[in-house]
Structure 1
Amino acid sequence: MYRFSSVIFRSFATTALLGTLAYAQAPAAPAKIDPNSPANIGRAELVQYLDSIAAQDTATRHAAVAALSSRAEAEDRQAVVRKKILSLIGGLPERTPLNAKTLGVTQANGFRIEKILFESQPGFPVTALLYLPDGKPAGEKLSAVLIAPGHGPAGKASDYFTAATFARNGFVVLSYDPIGQGERLQYPDPSKPDASLASRPTGEHGEAGLQPSLIGDAISRYFVWDAMRGIDYLSQRPEVDPKRIGAFGCSGGGAMTALTGALDTRVAATAVACYNTSFDTLLASIGPQDGEQSIPGFIAAGLDFPDWIELVAPRPYAAVATYSDMFPFAGARTTVSEARRFYALFDPASAGMPSASAAEAAAQSHPTAPALNIDTPNAVPLTARLQFITGPGGHGALSPIMGNIVGFFLRNLQPGSDADHPLLPPPIPRGAPTGLPKDALQVTSTGQVATSYPHAETIFTLNLKHAAQAIPSSRPVLAGEKLAVAIRETTGAKAKPGASKQESATQSTKTGEFQLETAPNVNLRGTLSVPPTAGRHPAVLLLAPESIDADNPRAQANKAEFEKLTAAGNIVLAVTPSPSPAGTDDMKSPILGPFYLLSLRAELVKHTLVGMRVDDVIRLVDALASRPDVDASRITAIGSGHMGLVLLHAAVLDARLKHITIDHVLSSYHSLLEAPLPIGASEDIIPGVLLHYDIPDLAKALGTRLTETEPLKGTDDLSQTSTPLETLRNQ
């Protein structure tokens, strides 16, 4: 069994890596990134390009849904969508015994809290709190609600006041810690176990999602399975009516509740807060935010936010939104509007009836007061299956509308109750609850599963086991056209050698700044050096992570290499591949690096950074080969780190690259799969790659066309700053 702490200590062997982790241990507020900065022009271009692909996909999807005209057609779509989602996330694990334990009980005002530990998978504990209302008549079974918390480090403890409100209204509540939150850190700091080496929950989620992606899984499968096993646990409790179990969550908890309600038909009522929006509005504002919310290929598969609601139909669903949320309210409104038409095919009451007052409320572009169903000009009865609960405030500001939320669950899970007058506490205070023992909301003895149960499974170890089943043991080594097809299918690379047309200006550019458009409004920027002598010259493509004129040792090393190659009589082109220039972005964690969120955005539309950069290289070779002063039979390329991995893929697809020289490149994706804590790996991730090929297959295919030095293992620091060119090492 894998022992987490000892492996972490062994993997932190180098001074550079320890420096990186020291930074990771101290979470800082995200830096404010200026998207209009000249340094970010390349990112802005690439984001716009990717978003234009997403817009085409969502428009096609919207038209398909709009064409549905019967319940039978809607049910057919539900079946197709559910199958697609399960395929995209890698399916669901096997249902195994929960091995549930009660580790303590605390009496509170109006309810008691049981400390629960259950296994969602063998040896994979979930820490949870069960709230049981006082005064339940003997033999009576109660309705229940599963609550998933938002992306706070406290996990389930942050939902105490919400859970208490539901309990005082007669619900059994199971509030649990999602992966990477509360007592379930996947990457605890050995020197401070309640802190994460991945900085914060979104860093934990992103880091945990890298390795499952390599075998075609999404981290979402583990998140939603935890929730579904929570439903299993509630169903087994003698106090609970298994036919009256609902699910609620806000923010990141809303995301998990959306998935749970959609994929688990036992959920009798679902309310999702501060998550529903549309990809058209999300991508144009804050962009993708987290690994479990960004399933690779989701948009490309013809899916969008409304699908999470529409899969629930005709079961009761409340979409909950606040007017100033970071998840755009305009997107929530359009999503619910579409879902209302879909729901109406099952439940005509969800469409409502024409009403002057409802039309007046729906006409408000900037509402300010709590409201119901302002997505439609019709009056929708509270008994309709689809409700849109909205109110003032920013992200997570639910206090003004908590009565409507609790009322929704009372109405649908407690028939005959006074749903119009739920019991509500005073405005929710900040900080820890008073009147409870200090450890009342802590399940494990140490406060972390990793230290209380050091031999427990983690996402890392579970993924290794799943990989052993998923990767064919006798997978043939691909070569030739079969390898090329596999590269294109997995990376999303599309460029064909010689297919791009070159402008005369590109063909005649002399020494100085270089620019090439490789996709609509996406430009590559670099530096070109042309010898003064006439005739055809060998050409070298130097793939660099930033401008060779940048003021740092890595850029200086690349410039030295550029000048040496120029002096040897070569035409030399030094270019930063997409995004060019690289620019910056919010880092969910330093160990994920500055390209993680961009990778999520690309993967949603079935692109990858590796694939787009491979296209860049092929089009750059087109540009060089078309020049009258280049000997097209002598084009070579040089790259280090992430750039070298791009060249490995490009050279397999483009035989015009007669030789590539690379260093400090990941040696195999399988070694990355086996790394307990990958550092700086997000640029290299290709979803599903290990189901088809690995890096040694690329090297074998290139044979003598490849010179490689100092390959890196998955346990090494892969961040670009740690992988300089050989010239830097020799200075």
Structure 2
Amino acid sequence: MKNIAKCMLGLVGVCLPLAAQNDFRALGWSQSTAYHSYLMREVHRQYLDRQMELSEACASKEGVREYIDECVARYKRIVGDFPERGALNARVVGKVKGSGYTIEKILFESLPGRYVTAHLYLPDNGAEKHPASLELCGHGLWGKGPSSRSARLMAVNGIAVLVVDPIGQGERLQLIDAEGKPLTRGATTEHTLLNAGLNLIGTSLAAQEFWDNSRALDYLMTRSDIDGDKIGVYGSSGGGTQTAYFLGLDKRVKVAAICSFFSTRERTIEMQGPSDGCQHIPYEGRERLEVPDFALMMAPRPLLILSGRYDFVDLWGAEQGFQELKKCYAALGYPEKVDMLEVETGHGLGHEKQMKLVRWFKQWLQGISDAEVVEAPDDRFTLQETNCTDKGQVNVALPGAVSLMEENLRAYQDGQAGRDDFVKQGHEAIKGKMLELLGLKSLPQSPIRIEETGHESLRGYEQYTYQLVREGEMPVPCVVLVPETVRPDSPVEIHLHEAGKQAFLGEYTNYSASLTDGTILIAADFRGLGETADPAFYTDAKYWNWEYRIAMTSMHAGRPLMGQRVTDFLTLLDFCSQAEALKGHPVRVVADGVYAPVTLHAAFLDNRIGEASLSRSVKSWKSYLENPMQRDMYSNVLYGVLRYYDLPDLLRLCKGRVRYAD
């Protein structure tokens, strides 16, 4: 035993103060937000590169045009694919008369069986053709609702407005009971839950919202009473998000306004954390795309930013982003075509913002500067009067309606042949794509540094604590228990528990039998778990994911959480290969929760894992498509992975070395 202890200590390059053993801490420091700070350094580096590119571009008109073209190209690279545009099968299912306008209740199919409900506010001014705008809804559960004051205001001032129910709002809720009643607390929760499955098949809720909105514009273009050369788009809050994402992909829009969303992503993520699932497209940070970049894709067409000084949407970020827009529009020779209004209010499209919105649209769609705005009538309607369906929900009211879950399952089934072909490839080809999906350029090459942070002789075994350091990565804290009964052929058993190594080691009966058998035990915490777990109060409970902040920030930066943890696993395996007391011993793994998919990937990539037993974890990503009402999905999401393999495929590729214990 003494020789083993000497071997363990002999490897150590640095010896730090003894860690407190009562909580099994192994790091030489304690900082609860260390992992988030680590991730933010990557985000800051990405956006520093962007700042330099933008600064250089603003030196000339050609530079700005090239910058915008590159932003659009990077946007298209990450947004995913869209289907062919088929028949809309649009129809007007009813009308409601207002004061100076008429609401037409519209129903169309953006995809076969995907029904979209909308209200078209038509001015009663006798014009043969009206300029028109899309109004993209904020995050209210009832979407377009019984009526929109902004749309009424636009209509009585001569501009038609089509207000579109997004997926998961209004008459298009997806997570509902048999009677159409919502099963979640609100739209932002439903959006976030739905987005996880969409990410797995290579798209996002934001992309699907764009598709429906673009198809809504297709519908407007079919109407003889709409001037297709005079089209705008605006939205507030979640509708502001939809507007920003719309501008770079649909060039038919001639004027736009973004309200209560425009700020800088970098500042928002750092100050408040990632927002709702529908407000992110994976890899935006990796592609150096900021919120102002999505807005800039509109240039030099007229763009208005509407902000409240006391909005939770950060005003300083909005002001900095607007300064970037001003420089770019000026370089293009159109400084008058971008404007910003700040008002003494909070979140949303209030009266002062609405008045500015109408003046802006009248200026650029009707050619009327400083127009006098007619106030909106105070008409009141009920949902029963204005709903497009008799039951208030398309998925229970309309025969042939297809839910988003059914769409995703169809996509999964359509992709089965591709997955079957993929896993038939050679190991190196599969490994290359897997590393790409994990956000890893290659397997880690830099050496590890083993730092002992504690040692204690206990009854029947020696206990060591280490932090394993690899340049550019988070350190991996681990506790090693070496029993007196260890043999040359004793296994090294790695324990990876979602609750943290403290929960496992804190109960001696969890491992006493293994020590008696001579098994060397290692309990570790990978980044974001155990010692480096992100404090729970930084993640809103409405997202159903206890590590939502770090999972979404990681995906934003192009480094999926799972991929980072696979790197930690390989660091731990390097430790097993280098430590004299561990070298040559067969390695087996016991993992649960979020560690299970990590272990599956690590076992395929590294055959030093002799066997692994997994439990209490997702066994197929298909389950997220079938039932989005699950917790902690984002911890296990890889963007677009189901185009290539599912977890059962990976289990088979490990050729019996990995099994599920439950």
Which TM-score applies when normalising by structure 1? 0.79
Letter in 2 for 1:391: V
Q: CA distance change for structure 1 residues 704 and 174 in 2, over 3 Å: closer, same or farther?
A: closer
2: CA distance between counterparts of 1:169 and 1:514? Answer: 70
Q: CA deviation at 1:699?
A: 2.5
Equivalent position of 2:278 in the other structure: 292
Say which is worse superposed, 481-490 or 222-231, in terms of deviation.
481-490
| Partners of 2:240 and 2:260 within 8 A in 1 | yes
Q: 1:87 aligns with which of 77, 84, 92?
A: 77
1: CA distance between counterparts of 2:401 and 2:109? Answer: 10
Letter in 2 for 1:406: V
2: CA distance between counterparts of 1:499 and 1:84? Answer: 30
Equivalent position of 1:436 in the other structure: 381
Q: 1:542 aligns with which of 481, 495, 510?
A: 495
Q: CA distance change for structure 1 residues 468 and 90 in 2, over 3 Å: closer, same or farther?
A: farther
| Partners of 1:392 and 1:400 within 8 A in 2 | no
Say which is worse superposed, 488-497 or 209-218, in terms of deviation.
488-497
1: CA distance between counterparts of 2:610 and 2:280? Answer: 38
Question: What 5-or-longer segments of structure 1 have no aligned partner?
Answer: 1-37, 351-383, 427-432, 711-731
Q: CA deviation at 1:208?
A: 1.7
| Partners of 1:45 and 1:522 within 8 A in 2 | no
1: CA distance between counterparts of 2:162 and 2:540? Answer: 29
Equivalent position of 1:171 in the other structure: 159
Say which is worse superposed, 619-628 or 306-315, in terms of deviation.
619-628
1:594 and 2:546 matched: yes
Letter in 1 for 2:260: C
Aligned Cα RMSD in Å?
A: 2.9
1:390 and 2:342 matched: yes
1:114 and 2:59 matched: no
2: CA distance between counterparts of 1:587 and 1:118? Answer: 37
Q: CA deviation at 1:604?
A: 0.9
Say which is worse superposed, 151-160 or 126-135, in terms of deviation.
151-160
Q: CA distance change for structure 1 residues 99 and 496 in 2, over 3 Å: closer, same or farther?
A: closer
Equivalent position of 2:331 in the other structure: 345
Equivalent position of 2:421 in the other structure: 475
Which TM-score applies when normalising by structure 2? 0.87
Letter in 2 for 1:147: E
Summarize deviations over 1:190-217 as a string: whole Å, max 9, x none: 3x5232x343212211222222222322
1:149 and 2:102 matched: no
Q: CA deviation at 1:466?
A: 3.9
| Partners of 2:108 and 2:117 within 8 A in 1 | yes
Equivalent position of 1:566 in the other structure: 515
Question: What secondary structure sits across from 1:630 in the alignment?
Answer: coil
Question: What secondary structure sits across from 2:33 in the alignment?
Answer: helix
Pairwise mapping of residues 82-481 of structure 1 onto structure 2 (< 5 A)? 82-137=72-127, 140-157=128-145, 160-190=148-178, 193-195=180-182, 197-346=183-332, 348-350=333-335, 384-396=336-348, 398-416=350-368, 419-425=370-376, 435-437=380-382, 439-453=384-398, 455-468=400-413, 473=418, 475-477=421-423, 478-481=425-428
Q: CA deviation at 1:463?
A: 3.0
Say which is worse superposed, 619-628 or 511-520, in terms of deviation.
511-520
Q: CA deviation at 1:246?
A: 0.7
2: CA distance between counterparts of 1:505 and 1:680? Answer: 33
Equivalent position of 1:48 in the other structure: 37
Say which is worse superposed, 251-260 or 618-627, in terms of deviation.
618-627
Letter in 2 for 1:440: E
Q: CA distance change for structure 1 residues 519 and 421 in 2, over 3 Å: closer, same or farther?
A: farther
Q: 1:643 aligns with which of 580, 595, 620?
A: 595
Letter in 2 for 1:194: K
Question: What secondary structure sits across from 1:188 in the alignment?
Answer: coil
Equivalent position of 2:432 in the other structure: 485
| Partners of 2:244 and 2:258 within 8 A in 1 | yes
1: CA distance between counterparts of 2:471 and 2:497? Answer: 19
Q: CA deviation at 1:657?
A: 2.1
| Partners of 2:355 and 2:373 within 8 A in 1 | yes
| Partners of 1:632 and 1:656 within 8 A in 2 | no
2: CA distance between counterparts of 1:456 and 1:559? Answer: 55
Q: CA distance change for structure 1 residues 614 and 605 in 2, over 3 Å: closer, same or farther?
A: same
Q: CA deviation at 1:678?
A: 5.1
Letter in 2 for 1:482: A
Q: CA deviation at 1:453?
A: 1.6
Summarize deviations over 1:126-149 as a string: whole Å, max 9, x none: 111111122324xx3111121111
Q: CA deviation at 1:84?
A: 2.3
Q: CA deviation at 1:576?
A: 3.1
1:627 and 2:571 matched: no
Q: CA deviation at 1:261?
A: 2.3
Q: CA distance change for structure 1 residues 704 and 235 in 2, over 3 Å: closer, same or farther?
A: closer
Letter in 2 for 1:294: H
Summarize deviations over 1:248-294 as a string: whole Å, max 9, x none: 10010000011122211111100001111112211111122122321
| Partners of 2:486 and 2:518 within 8 A in 1 | no
Pairwise mapping of residues 695-706 of structure 1 onto structure 2 (< 5 A)? 695-706=647-658
2: CA distance between counterparts of 1:652 and 1:506? Answer: 31
| Partners of 2:137 and 2:164 within 8 A in 1 | yes
Say which is worse superposed, 520-529 or 101-110, in terms of deviation.
520-529
| Partners of 1:124 and 1:458 within 8 A in 2 | yes
| Partners of 1:479 and 1:701 within 8 A in 2 | no
Q: CA distance change for structure 1 residues 584 and 566 in 2, over 3 Å: closer, same or farther?
A: farther
Question: What 5-or-longer segments of structure 2 have no aligned partner?
Answer: 1-26, 457-461
Q: CA distance change for structure 1 residues 317 and 43 in 2, over 3 Å: closer, same or farther?
A: farther
1: CA distance between counterparts of 2:555 and 2:421? Answer: 25
Pairwise mapping of residues 600-619 of structure 1 onto structure 2 (< 5 A)? 600-619=552-571
Letter in 2 for 1:604: H
Q: CA distance change for structure 1 residues 654 and 570 in 2, over 3 Å: closer, same or farther?
A: same
Q: CA deviation at 1:585?
A: 5.1
2: CA distance between counterparts of 1:571 and 1:331? Answer: 52
Question: What secondary structure sits across from 1:408 in the alignment?
Answer: helix
Letter in 1 for 2:515: T
Summarize deviations over 1:474-496 as a string: whole Å, max 9, x none: 52324533332222110124684
Q: Which has the higher contact order (CA 8 A, sep 6+)?
A: 2
Question: What secondary structure sits across from 1:270 in the alignment?
Answer: strand
> What number of residue pairs does the alignment pair up?
623
| Partners of 1:194 and 1:447 within 8 A in 2 | no
Say which is worse superposed, 105-114 or 491-500, in terms of deviation.
491-500
Question: What secondary structure sits across from 2:498 in the alignment?
Answer: coil
Q: CA distance change for structure 1 residues 696 and 465 in 2, over 3 Å: closer, same or farther?
A: closer
Summarize deviations over 1:361-420 as a string: whole Å, max 9, x none: xxxxxxxxxxxxxxxxxxxxxxx111112112222263333322221111111113x634
| Partners of 1:88 and 1:218 within 8 A in 2 | no
Equivalent position of 1:693 in the other structure: 645
Letter in 2 for 1:476: F
Equivalent position of 1:684 in the other structure: 636
Q: CA deviation at 1:82?
A: 2.0
2: CA distance between counterparts of 1:225 and 1:413? Answer: 24
| Partners of 1:198 and 1:591 within 8 A in 2 | no
Q: CA distance change for structure 1 residues 415 and 494 in 2, over 3 Å: closer, same or farther?
A: closer
